[in-house]
Chains A and B, each alone.
Chain A
Amino acid sequence: MSQDRLTHLKRLEAESIHIIREVAAEFRNPVMLYSIGKDSSVMLRLALKAFYPGKLPFPLLHVDTTWKFREMIAFRDATMKQEGLDLLVHTNQDGIAAGITPFTHGSSVYTSIMKTEALKQALTAHGFDAAFGGARRDEEKSRAKERVFSFRTDTHAWDPKNQRPELWRLYNSRVRPGESIRVFPLSNWTELDIWQYILLEKIPIVPLYFSAERPVVNRGGQWIMVDDHRLPLEPGETPELRRVRFRTLGCYPLTAAVESDAATLPEIVREMLIARTSERSGRLIDHDDAASMEKKKREGYF
């Protein structure tokens, strides 16, 4: 059977490459958001494949909140150097000037200003008309309905009830000045697919995904890593060394570690398969309503 001739991973890979090429060909000024996480690593590899032996015909953009794990930034810089990539880094300077941190303003205000607002600033400043993101439909309910080409108004807003129908592999890339499309080449990948692909393709990922002894404090039942001196310790709180790893990466005060001995990729996959907690629960911002992600996305969050 021809459909069984290609494995599901090969088919997913080809679909993503098709999407990435389509964007490069049809948009005036595309950009690929690079969050340094495992999904970004896979998306970057797919982009390199799409244009091989040529170089990427678009830059990468990292929205730096200044609260990323230090190992993430080191990994980012090493990757850019090794692949010879063009990276733009944007930080919301207004937020810095206003002293916005995850501790002073709470996770939702902080995320809105340092991530969502920062992203909009960067997209507007550079006039990008398409932005690749590494989101997957299996991550969360409202994402299951997201298009591969997701239209955004000139204020970067998403209207879930007014999405363009998307048929076959014919993507509509028409936008007016100021409007843009968020493009999700990994839409049909699942978390297991991502890990298997990393394993198969030997794609480098940030070491924080692997178990190691790290200084952590326990807050509300979650392990928070003390990545630098900026984490305010509460009375009686002393960092302790634990064997932990991260299932998902973001800003260190908002990303909880899990206790784990998984130090190799097969061990990570094995752990994932027997895990009893879904991926995003490590991200503290999702813990409000089931509808909270949809609200964030309407406002422009990736």
Chain B
Amino acid sequence: MNAIDPNVAADASAFTDYLGRHERKSLLRFLTCGSVDDGKSTLIGRLLYDSKLLFEDQLLSLEKDSRKHGTVGDDIDLALLVDGLEAEREQGITIDVAYRFFSTDKRKFIVADTPGHEQYTRNMATGASTSDLAVILIDARRGVLTQTRRHSFIVSLVGIRHVVLAVNKIDLVDFSQAVFEDIVAEYRAFAADLGFETLTAIPLSARYGDNVLERSARIPWYTGPTLVEHLETVAVDDDASERAFRLPVQWVNRPNLDFRGFSGTIVSGTVRRGDAVVVAKSGRTSTVKSIVTFDGELAAASAGEAVTLTLTDEIDISRGDVLSAATERPEVSDQFAAHLIWMADEPLLPGRPYLLKIGARQVTAQVTAIRHKIDVNTGGELPAKSLALNEVGITNLSLSEPVAFDPYAVNRETGAFIIIDRLSNLTVGAGMIDHGLRRAGNIHWQALDVDKRARALAKGQKPAVVWFTGLSGAGKSTIANLVEKKLTALGRHAYILDGDNVRHGLNRDLGFSDADRVENIRRVAETAKLFVDAGLIVLVSFISPFRAERQLARELVEEGEFVEVFVDTPLDIAEARDPKGLYAKARTGEIARFTGISSPYEMPEHPELHLDTTLAAADLLAERVVAHLQEVGIVPGGEVSI
């Protein structure tokens, strides 16, 4: 393997050959997965150890660590080689993905060592997303377990089509052929629906090295390849360069006025000078003028290459656009159905605006429906209103603008996306597109002759949403009512959407779970938007505890049409007022999930108005709201004295 035969090293021309072989070898990325204690880390440690990739000082520190943390008595504990983080060494479990490297004359390997513990399933999906093959470990003594099924399901979900079933610890079942064959038969029956193109079962012992690199004399009944032999030769060819050409534009390269190039990595297909290409989203076409690289121009380039294209026409292309073969275009839609793996402690809330990154494009997106979630242990469908950490759901998504994509089953590169929480900035979900939803194409906006501007002019005001947020009992509705009276007195046309009233009608099907609260606000925000279109000043009086939903409401209307008013009353004062007796019920537990008591309230960070109800009376605060509306030109000014 990487360590070199001293005779080759000594002979200059043999050494040149050796270097040449290593320059020309290919790359295989695979992941290892299995249950806790199946021996994943030991297997990778074995691969490194047997390939003589360990240097003397690493061996010394391994021996030292083995004495301190080892779990195999006086032997060297190979797992310690790969269990990198301190916490893991102490707890004896792998809690994060580790990437390891080894190579043979034929291939270089990148191994993702992924956790077996249930709560870290998201890391397994992470490791699988960049792998072409999975090695699924099974402890020969324990056979196919629930976790084996779960990991196989995720491997299949993430689109891996080549699997090695490594039946480990075969030494502990006396190298029994019957045990091996029973396990393989059970696994094959279970995996029949998972779409694997190759499934190779190998009996081995990672701890003693049987059938890892060297053929085991102790398993004479097995005549197939060793693990390394198989990995060296397995064809995971997915014809990436034969498929439709796709290049997501990462960077517009414009060093001077004479050069305008579009840089990115070709994710599938081949492009040649003179090919017709199309910008998927706009439908504009052009022809490839040149394929530019630092090492010279190319006549053609294929999947996996990072290049810069110039085109014969000046067409509008920016980062995030996808250059495609003109004859085989990707789908373009702002709605699609997708498998979604949820990766955050905070559950997925349908209706909440998240960021979605696909290729080089980032847009705002909402999950509009969870059709069902999937029991990853059985493959069964379960109803769901939200997705928790490590849950997988079939979802519909709606995006702020159309994007180009292919179904994930057709193209893993243009069919994958991640979901990012807009406030925490964490990566909270990973998605695989099933298909576009045509609904978007069939509902066209009705163009009306009388528009928002005309309606607003007729009323002599600028329509807007004045959004009052704050705890229950803070005084939102009291102030909003006073504002409406004052505006009406000024001859303006306002309308109040009040939390309690809306819940009696439009939203009476909704409860107080986080998911329902989000949907509650989404409907109100959409209603407010329609009223703004009608030319009204809409006074929305809702607790609206989550920043993300208030942000959604803000983004639904135009810049300057949204005024967030934080009605700030400390919890103890609101609770002391308790006009509807709700706090008392919340404290006794009669009302669950009550904002401020058993459900969070996220204070506005930059409200247009901050009203402290402990400093002024409601009427004065209402005056301040009206004055602000005059200042910003929503209401014609001058007639109100403060």
Which chain B residue lies CB-closest to A170?
B418
A231-248 near B? 1/0 per residue, CB < 8 Å: 000000000000000000
User: Which chain A residues numbered 80 to 128 have a C-beta less than 8 Å away from chain B?
Assistant: none
With beta carbons under 8 angstroms apart, the residue of A7, A141, A168 that contacts B413 is A168
> Are A281 and B24 within 8 A (Cβ)?
no
B355 adjacent to A165 (CB under 8 Å):
no
A18-B264 Cα distance, complex, nearest whole Å:
7
Contacts of B101 in A (CB 8 A): 137-138, 188, 190
CB of B560 within 8 A of chain A?
A: no
Binary flags per residue of B548-579, CB closer than 8 Å to A gives 1, else 0: 00000000000000000000000000000000
A80 to B58, CA, bound (A): 36
The stretch of B90-98, B465-473, B517-525 that contacts the partner chain: B90-98
**Which residue in A7, A53, A160, A172 is a CB contact (below 8 Å) of B418?**
A172
A70 sits at the interface (CB 8 A):
no
Which chain B residues numbered 249 to 307 have a C-beta less than 8 Å away from chain A? Answer: 250-251, 253-255, 259, 261, 263-265, 292-295, 302-306
Q: Evaluate contact between A22 and B250: CB separation under 8 angstroms.
A: yes
The answer to whether A270 touches B99 (Cβ under 8 A) is: no
B-side interface mostly: mixed
Query: Which residues of B have CB within 8 Å of A230?
Result: none
Q: Give complex CA distance A55, B6 in Å.
A: 44
CB of A166 to closest CB in B, whole Å: 6
B305 CB contact (under 8 Å) in A10, A51, A294: A10
A191 to B408 Cα, complex, angstroms: 35
Q: Please encode chain B, from 36 to 70, with 1 for each CB lying within 8 Å of some chain A CB and 0 for all others.
A: 00000000000000000001111001001100000
Q: Does B328 contact A (CB under 8 A)?
A: no
Once A166-B126, A168-B412, A174-B425 are accepted as A-B contacts, the answer to whether A51 and B253 lie under 8 Å apart by CB is yes
CB <8 Å contact, B96 and A145: yes
Set of chain B residues within 8 Å of A260, measured between Cβ atoms: none
Tell me how far the C-beta of A95 lies from the nearest C-beta in chain B, rounded to whole angstroms: 28
Question: How far in angstroms is the closest Cβ of chain A from B470?
Answer: 25
Query: Do B240 and A3 touch (CB < 8 A)?
Result: yes
Q: Which residue of B has the minimal Cβ distance to A286?
A: B57
Nearest CB in chain A to that of B412: its residue:
A168
Flag if A21 contacts B294 (CB, 8 Å): no
Q: Which of B4, B96, B263, B416 contacts A170 (CB 8 A)?
A: B416
**Is B404 an interface position by the 8 A CB rule?**
no
Interface contact B263-A277, CB-CB below 8 Å: no
Shortest C-beta distance, B166 to chain A (Å), equals 21
Q: Does B129 contact A (CB under 8 A)?
A: yes
In Å, the complex CA distance between A53 and B241 comes to 26
Q: Is the CB of B87 within 8 A of A290?
A: no
Chain A residues with CB below 8 A from B240, complex form: 2-3
Query: Are B56 and A2 in contact, with the CB atoms below 8 A?
Result: no
List the A side residues contacting B358 at CB < 8 Å: 170
Residue-by-residue, is B110-126 near A (CB-CB < 8 Å gives 1, otherwise 0)? 10000000000011011
Provide the residues of chain B in CB contact with A141, threshold 8 Å.
Answer: 81-84
CA A196 – CA B25 in complex, angstroms?
12
Segment 71-106 of B: residues with Cβ below 8 Å from A = 81-87, 89, 95-101, 103
B351-387 interface code vs A (CB 8 A; 1 in, 0 out)? 0000101111000000000000000000000000000
CB <8 Å contact, B99 and A1: no
A21-B250, A199-B19 given; A168·B26 CB < 8 A: no
Within 8 A of A (CB), among B13-39: 15-16, 19, 22-28
CB distance from B30 to the nearest CB of A (A): 12
Binds A, one of B185-193, B231-239, B503-511, B533-541: B231-239
The chain A residue with its CB closest to the CB of B239 is A2
Contact A144 B9 (CB under 8 A): no
Count class of interface residues, chain A? 35 or more
Is B245 in the interface zone, CB < 8 Å from A?
Answer: no
> Is B132 in the interface zone, CB < 8 Å from A?
yes
Is A17's beta carbon under 8 Å from chain B?
Answer: yes
What separation, in Å, do the CA atoms of A276 and B305 have in the docked complex? 36
Given contacts A51-B253, A55-B255, contact A137 B99 (CB under 8 A): yes
Say if the beta carbon of A14 comes within 8 Å of chain B: yes
Per-residue interface assignment for chain A, residues 281 to 302, with 1 indicating a CB less than 8 Å from any chain B CB and 0 otherwise:
1000000001100100000000
A281 close to B357 (CB less than 8 A)? no
Q: Is B427's CB under 8 angstroms from A196's CB?
A: no
Q: Please state if A24 and B85 are interface contacts (CB–CB under 8 Å).
A: no
Query: Counting CB contacts under 8 A, is A206 at the interface?
Result: no
- Interface check A25, CB cutoff 8 A: yes
Q: Does A142 contact B (CB under 8 A)?
A: yes
Report B380 CB to chain A, min CB distance, Å.
25
Residue B200 lies at the interface, judged by CB distance under 8 Å to chain A: no
Assess the B253–A2 pair: CB atoms within 8 A. Answer: no
Question: In angstroms, how far is the closest chain A Cβ from the Cβ of B603?
Answer: 17
A165 touches B23 (CB 8 A): no
Of A7, A50, A164, A192, the contact of B426 (CB 8 Å cutoff): A164
Q: Are A49 and B294 in contact (CB under 8 A)?
A: yes
> Per a CB cutoff under 8 Å, which of B2, B82, B103, B265 touches A144?
B82
> Within 8 Å CB of A276, what residues of B?
55-56
With a CB–CB cut-off of 8 A, which chain A residues contact B430?
A: 165, 167
Q: Is B418 a contact of A8 with CB atoms below 8 Å?
A: no
- Tell yes or no: A218 within 8 A of B by CB: no
Which chain A residues lie closer than 8 Å to B85 at the CB level? Answer: 142, 145, 160-161, 294
Answer whether residue A155 sits at the interface, using C-beta atoms and an 8 A cutoff.
no
A21 to B430 Cα, complex, angstroms: 22
Query: Nearest residue in A to B97 (C-beta to C-beta)?
Result: A145
| Interface presence of B3 (CB below 8 A) | yes
Q: Given the complex of chains A and B, what is the CA–CA distance between A253 and B390 in angstroms?
A: 49
Contact with B along A172-184 (1 / 0, CB 8 A): 1011100000000
- Docked pose: A142 CA to B101 CA in angstroms: 14
Chain A residues with Cβ below 8 Å from B259 are 53-54
B346 within 8 A of A: no
Q: Which residues of A contact B100 (CB under 8 A)?
A: 137-138, 144
Binary contact track B122-137/A, C-beta < 8 Å → 1, others 0: 1101100110100000
Using Cβ atoms and an 8 Å threshold, which residues of chain B touch A275? 55
Known: A2-B241, A270-B4, A274-B9. A142 touches B254 (CB 8 A): no
B319 and A174 contact, CB distance less than 8 A: no
- Please report the C-alpha to C-alpha distance between residue A7 and residue B84 in the assembled complex, in whole angstroms: 29
B420 in the interface (beta carbon within 8 A): yes
**A137 to chain B: which residues have CB within 8 Å?**
99-101
Contacts of A3 in B (CB 8 A): 26-28, 132, 236-238, 240
Contact among A11, A144, A278 with B98 in the assembled complex (CB-CB below 8 Å): A144
Does A269 have its Cβ within 8 Å of any Cβ on chain B?
yes
Per-position binary interface string of chain A over residues 1-37, scored 1 when its CB falls under 8 Å from any chain B CB and 0 otherwise: 1111111111111100110011011000000000000
State whether the Cβ of A263 lies closer than 8 Å to any Cβ in chain B: no
Instruction: List chain A residues, Cβ under 8 A from B417.
Output: 170
Interface centre among A49, A54, A163, A187 (most CB of B within 10 A): A54
Q: Which residue of A lies closest to B127 (CB)?
A: A167
**In whole angstroms, how far apart are the Cα atoms of A259 and B372 in the complex?**
65
Q: Report A257 CB to chain B, min CB distance, Å.
A: 16
Q: Given the complex of chains A and B, what is the CA–CA distance between A12 and B305 in angstroms?
A: 10
User: Chain A contacts of B427 at CB under 8 A?
Assistant: 164-167, 172
What is the interface of chain A, defined by CB distance below 8 A to chain B?
1-14, 17-18, 21-22, 24-25, 48-55, 137-138, 141-145, 160-161, 163-170, 172, 174-176, 187-188, 190, 192-193, 196, 199-200, 266, 269-270, 273-278, 281, 290-291, 294
| Chain B interface residues (CB < 8 Å from chain A) | 2-4, 6, 9, 15-16, 19, 22-28, 55-58, 61, 64-65, 81-87, 89, 95-101, 103, 107-108, 110, 122-123, 125-126, 129-130, 132, 235-242, 250-251, 253-255, 259, 261, 263-265, 292-295, 302-306, 308, 319, 343, 355, 357-360, 412-413, 416-418, 420, 425-427, 430
A–B Cβ pairs within 8 angstroms, 29 of them: A2-B238, A3-B26, A3-B27, A3-B238, A6-B302, A8-B25, A8-B26, A10-B305, A21-B251, A48-B294, A49-B295, A49-B306, A145-B97, A161-B87, A161-B95, A161-B96, A165-B122, A165-B343, A166-B427, A168-B416, A169-B265, A172-B357, A174-B355, A276-B55, A278-B56, A291-B89, A294-B84, A294-B85, A294-B86
